[in-house]
Structure 1
């Protein structure tokens, strides 16, 4: 995007967390949740999900920001796909090296190493150092934001101040623990539920509060319906359908007048048929209702949403959008 980008036009950003299928096994307590070495064609989140989303965004003519787990770049097939994505104009952001859900609770040395190794891995496949970060499981902390600031990141996009998501996540994790299949996910500080729903500079003392004088990286929250704070992400779009999205869009347009971020995961571009023969396929399909929504239906919904956004917004990567925020 050039410096002459029309600042008066609001911007829409499509972001995608490229979580492997091992991440979902970890969330649902299936096996040990570790990477076991993807086949020659790559983890299915890449060989199917990322391939499909790049084709989808290419046909729609929109750039995206892809948050990459650094360790995934070690697979040659993944590295090739990510190189193609970067060459096509998509932004590659840092999603840490190992995707530790509990990174905020680990040592300072581990937090720094996870961010630095993720940077280096992404730079190797994409040709440039990432300037944006998203925490695994949205588990951000003041210490991680401080680290991002010291490493000259432009933005963090991890804040998900959504009470319905927070409560549902806590309940599911509690049930899995009781049932003897504990999740490797982690809960974020409850104070984050108080955070703004639009881009802001976080306070050093309280990351969920806005401080216009802060020199920390911009915080770009997940998209929420104002008031009820219902999430607008890939999973909820599948539940709402086109009618539901159209019903809340006027509220979203007023609440997000400068920047509209719509977050997906690679699995949002897959369905149950894509997991045939995969490890823990039946358990994953049972645990992930979105996999039971067919790709043709998902594609129809996403096309509708993009066309609706295109009428009011210009599409850009998250990096370009943040660079055009005032201040």
Structure 2
């Protein structure tokens, strides 16, 4: 019987990135709010992982780390405690795939440089800003020598909702800085695969293994933190059970999943980002439950270790 693996990864997107998504001015954020991911969310996440007894992978943004010495120290401490630190690009530019190949390569190089300086280890994994992947970005991950990418998110409800929100914001004269991916992503494999370098949402023989985020069979409902924390528990149980036939479960979260309005987030942002209205105590309780399910049903490992194992079978 194949070894059943699961990974828990967290995108450490700071609050300015949420302002960009919602077309809000970053001036809403004071210094404390800008630093909440590393001062507040990361310690909460580390404590939760330790309580349940499972490892995690943190996708860090190079620009955020370079701008804040405290962020570098937090990553170093996490790495020393066994958390894998992977790259979420340098600038977290949602339009990264629209840049020239040279600019893409430079962005990834700068991220690697910052994260290696913080942890002493060069990242071996990459997640694209906004989950958007194309041939030029995939080629850059190959050139950087990553073992794996985890950007494919073939979730139909997520894609539809994102398109609707972006359209609404445009009509309000407050355009989002997010980018809507090609519809081809909706046909990407749900399970780990080697991409076609020219068409990375199709199977091929690419050097960098792709580990898609969890979506259910059939309707391809996204099983990520935002939805797992806000939907009724019975619906989450049904979605979780539908994924039991997969040999790999890739649970993706964001640092904001362990923050709430009481942490000093501007009300303008809280109104737009509905999961920030959920009390953090409830969020932590739900995540503790989900992590427990994974620990009971799978061998929970970092994405780096999952890639090493899956590379032998994919």
Q: For this structure pair, what is the TM-score category when the shorter chain's length is used for normalisation? A: over 0.9
Check if 1:238 corresponds to 2:232. no
Aligned 8 A contact 2:88 2:126 in 1:
yes
Deviation at 1:181, TM superposition (A): 0.7
Which of structure 1's runs of 4+ aligned residues deviate more than 3 A?
Answer: 33-39
Aligned 8 A contact 1:242 1:304 in 2:
no
Deviation at 1:42, TM superposition (A): 6.4
What secondary structure does 1:209 align onto?
strand
Check if 1:115 corresponds to 2:108. yes
Aligned 8 A contact 2:134 2:199 in 1:
no
- List gaps (5 residues or longer) in structure 2: none
- List gaps (5 residues or longer) in structure 1: 1-6
Deviation at 1:100, TM superposition (A): 0.4
In 1: Cα distance, 2:31 partner to 2:149 partner: 29
In structure 2, the partner of 1:270 is 259
Q: How does 1:159-178 map to 2 (within 5 A)?
A: 159-178=152-171
In 2: Cα distance, 1:105 partner to 1:215 partner: 21
In 1: Cα distance, 2:19 partner to 2:151 partner: 22
TM-score (norm 1): 0.91
User: How many aligned residue pairs are there?
Assistant: 311
Check if 1:45 corresponds to 2:30. no
Deviation at 1:36, TM superposition (A): 8.1
What secondary structure does 1:311 align onto?
helix
Q: 1:124 to 1:298 in 2, by over 3 A?
A: same
Residues 35-93 of structure 1: per-residue CA shift (max 9 Å, x gap): 98845x96112211112111111221111110000011121111111111100000111
Residues 185-226 of structure 1: per-residue CA shift (max 9 Å, x gap): 111111111001000000123211112xx1320111110010
What secondary structure does 2:243 align onto?
helix
Aligned 8 A contact 1:226 1:252 in 2:
yes
Aligned 8 A contact 1:242 1:305 in 2:
no
In 1: Cα distance, 2:298 partner to 2:27 partner: 40
In structure 2, the partner of 1:73 is 65
TM-score (norm 2): 0.95
Aligned 8 A contact 2:87 2:127 in 1:
yes
Aligned 8 A contact 1:245 1:305 in 2:
no
In 1: Cα distance, 2:53 partner to 2:27 partner: 35
In structure 2, the partner of 1:4 is none
Q: 1:126 to 1:38 in 2, by over 3 A?
A: farther
Check if 1:17 corresponds to 2:6. no
Q: How does 1:192-211 map to 2 (within 5 A)?
A: 192-211=185-204
In 2: Cα distance, 1:21 partner to 1:301 partner: 22
